[in-house]
Structure 1
Amino acid sequence: MPHRFVRRWGGLVAGCWLLGACASTPGREAPRQYALDSLSASCLKNPLYCATVSGREVATGPVQTVGAAVASAAAVGHALTHEMKTSIQEEMEECADKARTEVLSRLKGAFEGLVPKAAECKAMTVDAQGRSVTWAIRLGLEMHEVALACAQAKLGERGLKFSLKPRYRFNLETKEKSLITPEEKAELLRQGGEELKGTLEPDVVIHTGDPLQVLVVYDFKFRCVGFEKNPEWRRYPVGHRYAGQLQGDIYRQAFGPEVHLIGPRKGMFW
């Protein structure tokens, strides 16, 4: 399948000073709500981190599969059956489990135990791009990368129409949304990314072939600690366009009721 999965972004991500909103800065401990959560918390404050996954961007335009004509015709109609949605969600949960286990296995020896403790999550490290980040952010970035690759493979096998990390503008008053093209996003990032604040970027969107006709949304969340708990939507911070509201509530207003939060429940936890 001629998917465009990852593409290098040279020069779009500045140095570690960009992390001031979501990670610790020299001489100051990271706020707990950011230090102990995944990439998603960082995205709420800095759009540059929503746009990158370990320095690489997952395809943000419509990612469409080809072939499997019969399966595709059944799958990308104006509704997915309950059985299909249940099966797909199980596969997305498998992707989250795979991501956590694979990343922690790769980093064996980096922590005192198999999984990091709260203090280790807030400690500073260096990511694949040489940026100074907390372990919580680095783990979230790397786990998202694995989970998205897994999601692309599984949804592609089904012959579904889907997009990975598409970016939308959303008007809360009119409930209208529009798609930001990869080219437009790249230009806005070159300008500093300020205009991307307040836009929405779910991880996985299954649609009819038109990314504005959304069928189901899946968003991955990876806790650094407390992974035995169900994942939770972030509450938008003070100063944000949606300040005080839950991310999931805004997503449902923009994309409809089929919005699902996915976190790892099995794998390397102890």
Structure 2
Amino acid sequence: MIKIDGNTKLTGLIGWPLSHTLSPLMQNAAFAARKINAVYLPFAVPEKALADFLSVIRQSNFLGLNVTIPYKTLVQKYLDEISPQAREIGSVNTIVVSRKKLIGYNTDAFGFHQALKSARINVRGKKILVIGCGGVANAIVWVLANQKARQVLLTDKIQKRALDLRKKYPEISSVINSGPSPETLADIDGVINASPVGMQKNDPMPVNLDSVARNIFVYDVIYNHETALIRYGRQRGWLSVGGLTMLLYQGTRAFQLWTGKNAPEKVMKKILEKELRVRR
């Protein structure tokens, strides 16, 4: 049981809305394992209250926050400093409170990179379709570019987001319609879903892949259940990876930034896997 007293430090997740998250379970287990007097809580903060909320945490006993939809880009204007990597990526998903200053970092990129390594996915020289161009996609495409992907196809229901992301990587990226043609998909090597499609168990596939004849990989950032994309990929015999490993490693990096201590990775992984088994 978590013991809370006047010295307890606070961390948490801000977003709007917060429909599901395993981060409190993971981070609270990590604090307990390292015997740190801290707690991690979800904070559903509407946009009109965001500035006031961040002003409060600056003056209180917060170690920091994680940031999720829809604030990974918007939150940057309220920060005192942004790490060079997060500025280059254009997205902040972790805030550290230090001497009443709010410092923004991106741990999604580390999480995604570790997820690729864990699944033994090599994107070098590959053609990748990325579905959804919001905050997390900024980190994903940054990793793909740094890992020397040959081409990245970007698609989003809000085309402006895809066009804005393409501007950062004009040499390797291009924007396609949200319903890509069979010809466009004929030679892809992988599909990454960075959109919210799949968050609900009855959500459809984010893209029709019936025309894909070659062996590819599929990756979905959604982690709380097996999505239609992951289920379809496994039925086709493709390497199919959900977002749990990315969640784990972005969380270990955030823990290190907040506490200055190594994260208890095995503890965090074990409790995530246990919870998902229960939910299924």
TM-score relative to the length of structure 1: 0.29
**Which of 1 and 2 has higher RCO (CA within 8 Å, sep 6+)?**
1
Task: Report which of the two has the higher share of strand.
Answer: 2
Over alpha carbons, which structure has the higher Rg?
2
TM-score relative to the length of structure 2: 0.28
